[in-house]
Structure 1
Amino acid sequence: MTLIAGATGFIGGRLLACLQAEGKDCRALSRTENAGKEWVCSDLSGPGLLNACKGVNTVFHCAGYAHAFSSSDPDVHWRINFEGTRNLLTAAGEAGVRRFVFLSSVKAMAEPRDACVDEDWPGEPATPYGRAKRSAEAAVLEAGAKYGMHVVNLRLAMVYGRGGRGNLERMARGIRAGWFPPLPETGNRRSLVHVDDVVAVMRLAAQVPAANGRTYIAADPRAYSGREIYDAIREAVGRAPARWRVPAILLRCGGKLGDGVGRLAGRTLPLNSEVTERLLGSACYSPARIERELGWRAGVDLAEGVREMLGAGLGGMNTSYPR
């Protein structure tokens, strides 16, 4: 029996659908009620966690508070992303679960700036989300040693795909609607990973003994510039290539203006310094360790992934392992 925590979310839902399509026995844990026979309605602080873990062999922990860039509610990040993970680990250990895969984030690391970094990059996470995830990773490794569980931390780069609600999906809506401005080519590098690759690497990490006690970055081996991402989406939505671009200095000025107006209005505007940095800055993470140790390599490139995200499909994409 496999337990998926966060089964109604983007990644957890994709994993659940994949396993069920193969006839695997699955139990879903979610705050949302469902009529399914193997569906447990509980949050990560609830007393139902121990019962949810009984009879389970493998736990995939996909649940969490995903507002990675919000600094206004650090207590929520800590309560859900750290304490919730610790609660689930305790329940899993006491129930005799054998394998536990935790979905962490590259935000659990210090910001890479212009470097392309691996798991040993020094420094502390910059956000409450990242600090909570980093502490949760430590709790995962401690629980593995305490209970004799096979445990793995997966630090995901930005995840995208059909059904997602992240930055690429928002960009795609803007490009399709015609209001998203053409980005300049700044030579920045941003790491991504498609949701089908995440499903594949989760399953692999749960099964391969060499993964036990390890922390891995999961990302496309190629990082893409903001302009490359923009062009790939524009092509996928059927728009002609843009022959002009907004200069980076104008976008950054617009972001600063958005910061000021947002402070006056008491809310965050769609264009602000944080958003422009994500569009123009770098966030590059190397998956070399997981490629070397587990033989896994992301199989969905940007062009394929964007087409799937927009509904063109990947025609029978295999989300088993290895990739």
Structure 2
Amino acid sequence: MNTNLHIITGNKGFVGINLIKYLNQNGKNTKGVSRTPILEELSYDTLNIEKLNQSKSFIHLAGKAHDLKKTSDDSEYYKVNTELTKSLFDQFLQSDCEVFIYMSSVKAAADEVEGLLTEEVKPNPVTVYGKSKLAAETYILAQEIPDNKRVYILRPCMIHGPNNKGNLNLLYSFVSKGIPYPFGKYENKRSFVSVDNLCFVINELIENTNIASGIYNIADDESLSTNQLVSIIGDVVNKQAKIVNVPKGLVKLIAKIGDVLPLPINSERLQKLTENYEVSNLKIKKAMQKNLPLSAEKGLQKTIASF
């Protein structure tokens, strides 16, 4: 076994690109697996037990992302997020590869959070995306793991990083264009995770044989309100962030109109911007016995500066 080779699916995605760069900088060799391989990459067809025998870890990032436009066929989620994962995990179990890391999501546990989301919560996903991720988790957990292998299921919250705006895009456009942010009346707390912190955790999971197999939430240490987020964006772009306290009743009415007419805000976006979604990272930090390299604010500043 080549203890310095690490196979990664979804290597062309945002997390994959960052992870390969991070692992390479930390002296590891990586090989990508994708549907349409280029150069030295593997395809799902050419990935086999023999290739896995040569690697120390198998990091499965590939998946079908949550489709906010709701145009995807439900079966596609199960085909990619569940069945592909099951097939790859079976190959891992038959190989000499030592570490399997599956990139799941907090959405496999809960779509709405009251209080703090921990790994002990009884999963109750609402969306097909969350259900397909949970089905893969359930399959992995049902298999017997040999003593010489370690298996990690990661549930990251909203991942961000340089050049990946995600849900920050709307807030960024508010502040950068000088448009007042109208939802100041809403007090909420949300967890984020910077791609730097996520890559740090994955590297630790590969190297630290003392970290027990299992499910781990991945989040930055601090949760932030959307109002704080707007202020951070203002600081980074050197513009005074204007936060306006529009009455909640009026905001909801505008959002309902946005469900019908093409306004920048609708009910779903309003919920995303103002809901509470706090995720505990205590289990992974206790297992690593290390602090994360970036604070939530520093990570967000880095992301926003790249826009």
TM range (shorter): 0.7 to 0.9
List per-residue Cα deviations over 1:102-125 (Å, max 9, x = no partner): 111111112343321211122411
| Among 8, 18, 25, the residue aligned to 1:21 | 25
Paired residues of 1:154 and 1:216 also in contact (CA < 8 A): yes
* Identity rate, percent: 26
The reply on whether 1:209 has 2:209 as its aligned counterpart is yes
Shift of 1:296: 4.0
Structure 1 residues 14 and 257, CA, compared in 2 at 3 Å: closer, same or farther? same
How far, CA to CA, are the matches of 2:37 and 2:175 in structure 1? 35
Structure 1 residues 243 and 79, CA, compared in 2 at 3 Å: closer, same or farther? closer
Paired residues of 2:118 and 2:217 also in contact (CA < 8 A): yes
Residue 316 of structure 1 corresponds to which residue in structure 2? none
How far, CA to CA, are the matches of 1:212 and 1:57 in structure 2? 16
How far, CA to CA, are the matches of 1:149 and 1:34 in structure 2? 30
When the two structures are superposed, what TM-score results if normalisation uses the length of structure 2? 0.88
Residue 78 of structure 2 corresponds to which residue in structure 1? 78
How far, CA to CA, are the matches of 1:250 and 1:169 in structure 2? 23
What is the CA RMSD across the aligned residues, in angstroms? 2.5
The reply on whether 1:280 has 2:274 as its aligned counterpart is yes
Residue 46 of structure 2 corresponds to which residue in structure 1? 48
> Superposed, which structure 2 residues align to 1:292-307 within 5 Å?
292-307=286-301
List per-residue Cα deviations over 1:211-242 (Å, max 9, x = no partner): 33211111122211111111111221111132
Shift of 1:194: 0.5
Structure 1 residues 310 and 189, CA, compared in 2 at 3 Å: closer, same or farther? closer
The runs of at least 4 consecutive aligned structure 1 residues that moved more than 6 Å come to: none
Give 3-state SS (helix, strand or coil) of 1:141's partner: helix
Paired residues of 2:161 and 2:302 also in contact (CA < 8 A): yes
Equivalent AA in structure 2 for residue 273 of structure 1: S
How far, CA to CA, are the matches of 1:309 and 1:144 in structure 2? 40
The reply on whether 1:5 has 2:3 as its aligned counterpart is no
How far, CA to CA, are the matches of 1:104 and 1:156 in structure 2? 7
Paired residues of 2:104 and 2:133 also in contact (CA < 8 A): yes
> Superposed, which structure 2 residues align to 1:140-289 within 5 Å?
140-143=140-143, 145=145, 149-179=149-179, 181-242=181-242, 244-261=244-261, 270-289=264-283
> Which deviates more from structure 2 when the two are superposed, residues 239-248 or residues 10-19?
239-248
> Which deviates more from structure 2 when the two are superposed, residues 135-144 or residues 15-24?
135-144
Paired residues of 1:100 and 1:150 also in contact (CA < 8 A): yes
How far, CA to CA, are the matches of 1:6 and 1:139 in structure 2? 20
Give 3-state SS (helix, strand or coil) of 1:49's partner: coil
> Which deviates more from structure 2 when the two are superposed, residues 56-65 or residues 182-191?
182-191
Structure 1 residues 243 and 117, CA, compared in 2 at 3 Å: closer, same or farther? closer
Paired residues of 2:175 and 2:241 also in contact (CA < 8 A): no
- Structure 1: tracts of 5 or more residues without a match: 263-268, 314-323
How far, CA to CA, are the matches of 1:163 and 1:144 in structure 2? 40
Paired residues of 1:49 and 1:88 also in contact (CA < 8 A): no
Shift of 1:4: 1.2
The reply on whether 1:101 has 2:95 as its aligned counterpart is no
How far, CA to CA, are the matches of 1:23 and 1:298 in structure 2? 20
- Structure 2: tracts of 5 or more residues without a match: none
Residue 317 of structure 1 corresponds to which residue in structure 2? none
When the two structures are superposed, what TM-score results if normalisation uses the length of structure 1? 0.84
Paired residues of 1:140 and 1:152 also in contact (CA < 8 A): no
Q: How many residues of Structure 1 are paired with residues of Structure 2 in the alignment?
A: 301
